[in-house]
Amino acid sequence: MQQDHCIRISNLSKKYSGTSSYALKDLNLDIVNGEIFGLLGPNGAGKTTFFSIVCGLMKASSGTAEIAGYSISKDLESIKRIVGVVPQDIALYPTLSGRDNLLFIGRMYGLKGKILKERVQECLSKFGFDKNSEMPVKTYSGGMKRRINLIGGILHEPSILLLDEPTVGMDVQTRTSMMEHLKDLNANKKMTILYTSHYLEQAELFCDRVAIMDQGKILCLGKPADLIKNENGNDLEDVFLKYTGRKIRD
Amino acid sequence: MHRLFSTFIKEFKILIVDKTGITILFVMPVLLVFIMTLIQHQAYKSLSQSGIPVLLVNNDNDSLGIALENGFKKFSICELTVDHGEKYKTSADIKKRIVEGEFLVALVIPKDATEVLRGNVQEMVDTFFDQKKPGQASSPQVKIEIIVDPTASKSFLMAINSSLKEMIASIKTKVLFQIMGEKIAVLLESEKKPPLPEKDFFVYDEGFALREGKDTYQPNAVQHNIPAWAIFSIFFIVLPLAGSIIYERTEGLFIRMRTFPGSYLSILSGKLFVYFLVALLQFGMIIILGKFVMPLIGLPSLDIGTHWFALTILTIMLSLSAVSYGLLVGTLFNTPQQSAVFGGISILIMSALGGIWVPVNIMPPVMQTISSLSPLNWALTGYYELFIKGGDWYAIQNQIIKLSVFFLLCTAISYRLYKLKLRTY
């Protein structure tokens, strides 16, 4: 079911029960195959709600979402097999080793036996875990945990990777290294990447296109360079502040 | 199946790397059962074997005194010291010895007690034969003094009292028979004087109501306590299980698991299966403790009966009930602290109601009714049927059905709660 539009969102709205305002309101978005797309916004903009709906963790109040031609409301199981998810929180068992965590995640995606072990080893080596893979995750640094967390999302070689704030709390070196790995996956495996972030500088360098959203709506959408040029800014942060304002958010 | 097996492997690894968890899951239950059985063994021993120091001051030295002396000598729970008024002359002397802990109970039979008893009975017979008016009798009563240590257990004192009254009633009957015989001999102008009957008119044959095929049973702490505390320990699996479920649900792990292909419930099933096996293993270890380790320290060996199929099914249902209750607590609460407090206290309440701590039959009627709602009581009743009464599969069917319903109910409520809670994530 390969299509030009890898992710297609139409009039997507979400209203939480007991609240009067919409977390997402009539959102429309198309992400094409092989694209690295950044979803940017201040706290409470609706990024995580959007991410949760696209991952199938939450149901939309109205509208439709399709991933690789599969409807989220009807074909979630098909979507789960071709999508990799990297949650914002560290989604690992702290008392198990990095390798054991990955073996478990791989098995959950249907990988078995020699193929699973080789794939885990390949990823561990690529992300610099030649020595520490047998240590419990709780002994890892924050950056190491983030890297294992990321591997958990790409182990089964998904065609679409969804990342929620994947570089939060990382030092510059780890962050740069991780983004290079993602860029590499995008280039070599043609992996479509959708990620949410607060790091505007990183998004500017890394993303083919970005969307800035606030209060459940997309305020602007385009290539980072085009957006900066159109708004006469120096960088993406100028554009971001222009659209979302300087008011501190809860 | 692959997912279930994968989760099983993962949970197994989590358990074995957690040394404290392993200790809590396996060593603590065995230790609990071991200690509780040892403690209870002393209680059973004190009620079934000798060792309680009792002083009998027999100032009578006639039929009543001799009968009581002989009776208490046969009374197995007493370590009897008899004094014929040589050493202990006053109540103060006796009280002093009891306060010092030398004796737990002292019985003082007054001088000429038999004579007074005879006088009383004689007077009663005369009233009947000589047509005297009742109320004219003037003989004094026999006053038997019982001095007790205030720390002595009530059940023991009741046993002493009841035996004393039984012995006195017996000797009174014999004296009555003798005096009546003498009176009749006088009336018949016979030279023969009837002797005091030696034999009791009644003998008691006590036995236990056991199922067919089980002939004998000797109450002991191992047989009563091991199943009771094993059930209690197995139910404590609720705490680590609920904690583990809550941890997974409240950390990022839950998001990852829900994005895996397939249902999260199949992953959860793998976890439950591991804890189910842990519960079975716990029970197995406790049975081995009762059967093979307890005899090494002088306690009786646990008799688990001969109905292996019934025992297996009952243990499986007990384990499933404990695991499903853990699932319910883990689903209901949002923090490990909440689940630990609720889970722990609810198990204590269910165990107290279920007859783990005190037998159900000594509870007030209302509590006995409530007790019948405790799954720990159902399991305990089942094990007592198999281990003590010699019951088989048919004897425990009700318990199996009740435990199955509890398991299904807990699982169904947990599923519904899980679905409701999903809306908030």
ipTM of the complex: 0.87
Best to test chain A binding among B1, B5, B255 (most A CBs inside 10 Å): B255
Chosen from B259, B265, B424 to mutate, greatest number of chain A CBs within 10 A: B259
Please answer yes or no on whether B256 and A105 come within 8 Å at the CB atom. yes
Q: Which of B366, B370, B278, B288 is nearest to B322 (CA)?
A: B278
Interface contact flag, A58 B9, Cβ < 8 Å: no
Q: For residue A201, what are its two tokens?
A: 């500088």
pLDDT for the residue numbered B248: 86
Closest CA to A241 of A194, A179, A198: A198
| Distance of residue B23 Cα from the nearest chain A Cα, in angstroms | 16
Taking the CA of residue A70 and the nearest CA in chain B, the distance in Å comes to 14
Token pair 């997402």 is at which residue? A24
| B356-380 per-position pLDDT tens digit | 888 787 778 888 888 889 999 999 9
Which of B6, B17, B421 would you mutate first to test chain A, the one with the most A CBs within 10 A?
A: B6
User: What is the 3-state secondary structure of chain A?
Assistant: CCCCEEEEEEEEEECCCCCCCCCEEEEEEEEECCCEEEEECCCCCCHHHHHHHHHCCCCCCEEEEEECCEECCCCHHHHHHHEEEECCCCCCCCCCEHHHHHHHHHHHCCCCHHHHHHHHHHHHHHCCCCCCCCCEHHHCCHHHHHHHHHHHHHCCCCCEEEEECCCCCCCHHHHHHHHHHHHHHHHHHCCEEEEEECCHHHHHHHCCEEEEEECCEEEEEECHHHHHHHCCCCCHHHHHHHHHCCCCCC
- Measure CA of the first residue to CA of the last residue in chain B; give whole Å: 28
* CB contact A89 to B (< 8 Å): yes
- In chain B, whose CA is at the least distance from the CA of A161? B259
Arithmetic mean of pLDDT, B11-31: 85
Q: How far is B259 from chain A (nearest CA, A)?
A: 6
Q: Do B2 and A107 touch (CB under 8 A)?
A: yes
Domains, chain B, with CATH or none: 2-44+214-422 (no CATH), 51-187 (3.40.190)
- For the beta carbon of residue B76, count every other beta carbon within 10 angstroms: 11
Query: What is the pTM for the complete model shown?
Result: 0.76
What confidence tens digit (pLDDT) does each residue in B252-299 have? 788 888 888 888 788 888 889 999 999 999 999 999 999 999 889 888
Note the maximum CA span of chain A.
Answer: 55
Query: For B163-219, what is each residue's pLDDT tens digit?
Result: 788 878 887 787 788 777 877 777 777 777 666 667 776 777 766 666 666 666 666
Of A91, A100, A136, the CB nearest to B253: A91
Whether A185 and A15 have beta carbons less than 8 Å apart is answered as no
- A166 Cβ under 8 Å from any chain B Cβ: no
Q: Determine the residue of chain A that is closest to B263 in CA distance.
A: A77
Q: CA distances (Å), A72 to each of A31, A38, A156, B222, B284, in order?
A: 15, 20, 20, 60, 48
Q: How many CB atoms lie within 10 A of CB B120?
A: 19
Instruction: With a cut of 70, say whether residue B3 has pLDDT above it.
Output: yes
The shortest CB-CB distance from A91 to any of B13, B17, B255 is to B255
Inter-residue contact A39 to A88 (CB < 8 Å):
no
What per-residue confidence (pLDDT) applies to B135?
A: 57
Successive 10-residue mean pLDDT values, chain A, 250 residues: 73 86 88 91 86 88 90 89 89 92 92 92 87 90 88 90 84 83 87 88 88 89 88 84 74
Burial code (b: 16+ CB inside 10 Å, e: under 16) for B291-328 equals eebbeeeebbebbbbebeebbebbbbbbbbbbbbbbbb
A100 touches chain B (CB under 8 A): yes
Domains of chain A: 5-91+159-244 (3.40.50.300)
Kindly state the helix (H) or strand (E) to which residue B57 belongs, with its residue range.
strand B52-58
Alpha-carbon separation of residue B319 from A98, A201, B234, B243, B324 (angstroms): 32, 56, 7, 18, 9
Measure CB to CB from residue B260 to each of A87, A96, A109 and give the nearest one: A109
Q: Do A95 and B251 make contact, defined as CB atoms within 8 angstroms?
A: no
Size of interface A-B (CB pairs under 8 A): 75
* pLDDT score for B139: 66
Distance from CA of B316 to the nearest CA of A (A): 28
Separation between Cα atoms, residue A54 and residue A194, nearest integer Å: 10
Q: For residue B46, what pLDDT is reported?
A: 55
| C-alpha span between B273 and B168 (Å, rounded) | 63
Q: What is the pLDDT of residue B346?
A: 93
Triad A158, A161, A164: Cα angle to 5°: 150
* Strand partners for B106: B55, B147
Tokens of A168: 């939060």
Residue B100, judged by CB atoms within 10 A of its CB (0-12, 13-18, 19+), counts as exposed
Nearest CB to B261 within list A81, A88, A89: A81
Q: Rounded mean pLDDT of B67-77?
A: 78
Characterise A110 by phi-psi region: left (phi > 0), alpha (psi -120 to 50), beta (else): left
d(CA B161, CA A195): 85
> Using CA atoms, how far apart are residues A85 and A160, in angstroms rounded to an integer?
9
Instruction: Choose the closest CB to A93 out of B6, B14, B267.
Output: B14
Average pLDDT over residues B49-70: 80
* Residue among B6, B253, B423 whose CB faces A107 most closely: B6
Closest approach of B398 to chain A, Cα-based (Å): 40
Q: Chain B residues with CB-CB distance to A under 8 A?
A: 2-3, 6-7, 9-10, 13-14, 17-18, 251-253, 255-262, 267, 423, 425
- Report the percent of chain B where pLDDT is more than 90: 24
Facing residues of B82 across strands? Answer: B56
User: In chain A, whose CA is at the least distance from the CA of B12?
Assistant: A96
Backbone angles phi, psi at B203, to 5 degrees: -125, 150
Q: What pLDDT score does A179 carry?
A: 85
Of A220-224, B57-61, B158-162, B328-332, which has the strongest mean pLDDT? B328-332
pLDDT digits (tens, 9 = 90+) for B28-37: 888 888 888 8
